[in-house]
Amino acid sequence: MTLLEIFPSLRDGGMTPRLDPAIWPRDTHYDGDGRITVGGVALADIADQYGTPTYVLDEGEVRGRCQEYRKRFPDAEIIYAGKALLTRAVAEWITDEGLSLDVCSAGELAVALAAWADPRRIVLHGNGKPFAELETAINCGVGRIVVDSPTEITLLSALANRPQRVLIRVTPDIDVHGHPAVRTGVTDQKFGFPIGGQAVWEAVDRIVRQPNLELAGLHCHIGSQIHDTFPYGEAVRRMIGEMARIRDEFDITLTELDLGGGHAVAYRGGDAEMNLAELADIIEDSLDAACARHGFPRPRIALEPGRAVVARAGVTLYRVLSVKHVEDGHTYVTVDGGMSDNPRVALYGARYDAVVVNRHPTGPHMTATIAGRHCEAGDILAHDVRLPADLRPGEVLAMPCTGAYHHSLASSYNGIGRPPIIAVTEGRTRELIRRETIDDLMCREMGC
Ligand code: LLP
């Protein structure tokens, strides 16, 4: 007999612990047996059917986030940054929802094309694009290429055999004080051309003299996991200023301004996240003011969210391998995944939460560290997580907000294959990416 059978009032939410909608997919609930469901599917069933660790991805949540962007920014082009998570199905969902797609390698481009994404709505990024990748992109007709170095202009001039639209990536000298690994708006770094500098002039000058290169506009990406709207307003002001200077100097009016991505999500309850309505307002206001000030016609705005589209749609399932209480009072819960499926804790000090998937955590609790199974002390998945004090090996934990930069950053470190991605929607599961097996790892060994 379950607790719910004894206390039916639990069913209508009386004592149901709240799964914070800021970090879980919107369609997350406790079912009648106290099990967590996402997209109408019990996470415990997914763990049983597909094993663990497993990435679960809620299609409805991805589509919902796309719709929210389109609603908040009706006049802007929304270009999903595929680096956050790209599979054929994800590319299909986002294009279905009217988004364009940003790719930064021939591999990502191949996935996009396999999903029948319209090449004209694909934007190619990267500070180092190999010749062969530029050639592939041009041959398949990608809509825009974001130029990131003088060398690339030379390569593009040689390769383009029909008009190719390009944007120039500019660093607007805005420091959002995020993690150094994702601080891309400042001047002294590997991306783009510093704003107001000679290098931008030279890039414009060279591009406009190439008959097959068509300079459509400028691009900037000021960083990632930014929750403050102010830097975006500042970016608009500076970039419009730069576009006006280019007009004055070269007598060309650029028509596109791509403001990149970087919109923060909450990883744990209470974390700050980007408010899209406020972002839309500040972009509008800054655009009005800057365009009026420089007498510049309003360019078409593009935004490139990655994380904010897919992060909350993802939940990772792990099985508990051991629960260990060490002498200083710490409790380590070791699970069957780790830094190979989520390197973000080790890379950026990211913080996560986790819950048991198949019972209401109503009894006594403990505060635990969730550790991975890799051979490094730094292989930690989450600190200070509240878990049932009687947590046992074999139970399944779900870690929310793991849809962005998890699968795409995953490795097979320690010979542990990458987890599958299981999509959920309306009570059904669909395996998007299968688990990487030992055979997969071995088949790269030559001569076996
Ligand atoms: N556009 C460009 C040119 C970018 O470089 C990026 C991210 C985006 C858009 C999307 O940014 P988002 O909206 O996802 O923040 N691995 C790190 C994040 C690296 C972001 C790299 N560029 C992480 O796990 O936090």
Supply 169's token pair: 């990536």
Minimal-distance CA residue to ligand 1 atom 21: 182
User: What pLDDT, on a 0 to 100 scale, did the predictor assign at position 355?
Assistant: 96
Q: What is the pLDDT of residues 235-254, one digit of tens each?
A: 999 999 999 999 999 999 99
Q: What is the pLDDT of residues 299-349, one digit of tens each?
A: 999 999 999 999 999 999 999 999 999 987 799 999 999 999 999 999 999
Which residues have C-beta atoms less than 6 Å from ligand 1?
A: 81, 83-84, 102, 125, 182, 221, 224-225, 260-263, 304-308, 344, 348, 405, 409
Distance 224 CA to ligand 1 centre (A): 6
User: What pLDDT, on a 0 to 100 scale, did the predictor assign at position 11?
Assistant: 44
Tokens 């790719």, residue located: 103
Closest atom of ligand 1 relative to the 260 alpha carbon: 1
Residues forming beta bridges with residue 164, ordered by sequence position: 213
- Which residue of 77, 267, 307, 345 sits with most ligand 1 atoms within 8 Å of its CB, as the best mutation to test the pocket? 307
Residues forming beta bridges with residue 319, ordered by sequence position: 396
* Calpha distance 194→290 (Å, rounded): 20
Share of the chain above pLDDT 90, in %: 89
Minimal-distance CA residue to ligand 1 atom 8: 261
pLDDT of 122 strictly over 60: yes
User: What pLDDT, on a 0 to 100 scale, did the predictor assign at position 125?
Assistant: 98
- Which residue of 123, 191, 304 sits with most ligand 1 atoms within 8 Å of its CB, as the best mutation to test the pocket? 304
**Residues 6 or more apart in contact with residue 259 via CB below 8 angstroms:** 220, 221, 232, 235, 236, 239, 283, 301, 302, 303, 304
pLDDT of 12 strictly over 50: no
Q: What is the pLDDT of residues 388-407, one digit of tens each?
A: 999 999 999 999 999 999 99
* Calpha distance 287→237 (Å, rounded): 7
**Secondary structure E strands in 310-446:** 314-325, 331-335, 355-356, 365-371, 380-388, 396-400, 421-425, 428-433
Distance 127 CA to ligand 1 centre (A): 13
Among residues 98, 89, 96, the alpha carbon closest in space to that of 70 is found at 98
Give the global pTM: 0.95
351 contacts 268 by C-beta, under 8 angstroms: yes
Distance 144 CA to ligand 1 centre (A): 18
- Which residue of 83, 146, 352 sits with most ligand 1 atoms within 8 Å of its CB, as the best mutation to test the pocket? 83
Distance 7 CA to ligand 1 centre (A): 46
Average pLDDT over residues 119-129: 97
DSSP 198-244: HHHHHHHHHHHT-TTEEEEEEE----SSB--SHHHHHHHHHHHHHHH
pLDDT of 53 strictly over 90: yes
Q: What is the pLDDT of residues 171-182, one digit of tens each?
A: 998 988 777 777
pLDDT of 10 strictly over 70: no
Supply 246's token pair: 């280019």
Distance 332 CA to ligand 1 centre (A): 31
Minimal-distance CA residue to ligand 1 atom 19: 182
Closest atom of ligand 1 relative to the 405 alpha carbon: 24
Q: What is the pLDDT of residues 185-219, one digit of tens each?
A: 777 778 899 999 999 999 999 999 999 999 999 99
Distance 373 CA to ligand 1 centre (A): 27
pLDDT of 448 strictly over 80: no
Burial class (CB in 10 A: 0-12, 13-18, 19+), 38: buried
User: What pLDDT, on a 0 to 100 scale, did the predictor assign at position 189?
Assistant: 76
pLDDT of 380 strictly over 60: yes
Closest atom of ligand 1 relative to the 84 alpha carbon: 14
User: What pLDDT, on a 0 to 100 scale, did the predictor assign at position 328?
Assistant: 78
pLDDT of 9 strictly over 80: no
54 contacts 420 by C-beta, under 8 angstroms: yes
Distance 260 CA to ligand 1 centre (A): 9
Alpha-carbon Rg of the chain, whole angstroms? 24
Average pLDDT over residues 408-422: 98
When pLDDT is cut at 50, 70 and 90, the band that residue 8 belongs to is very low
Amino acid in position 439: D
When pLDDT is cut at 50, 70 and 90, the band that residue 140 belongs to is very high
Which residues are catalytic, by number?
A: 375
User: What pLDDT, on a 0 to 100 scale, did the predictor assign at position 17?
Assistant: 55
Average confidence score pLDDT of the chain: 94
Minimal-distance CA residue to ligand 1 atom 24: 405
Query: DSSP 3-state helix, strand, coil percentages of the chain (rounded to 5)?
Result: 35, 25, 40
Q: Is 407 helix (H, G, I), strand (E, B) or coil?
A: helix
Average pLDDT over residues 341-369: 94
Q: By mean pLDDT, which of 17-21, 371-375, 387-391 is the weakest? A: 17-21
User: What pLDDT, on a 0 to 100 scale, did the predictor assign at position 13?
Assistant: 42
Minimal-distance CA residue to ligand 1 atom 15: 262
pLDDT of 289 strictly over 90: yes
Minimal-distance CA residue to ligand 1 atom 5: 221
346 contacts 413 by C-beta, under 8 angstroms: no
User: What pLDDT, on a 0 to 100 scale, did the predictor assign at position 14?
Assistant: 42
- Which residue of 224, 271, 276 sits with most ligand 1 atoms within 8 Å of its CB, as the best mutation to test the pocket? 224
Q: What is the pLDDT of residues 63-113, one digit of tens each?
A: 999 999 999 999 999 999 999 999 999 999 999 999 999 999 999 999 999
Closest atom of ligand 1 relative to the 146 alpha carbon: 3
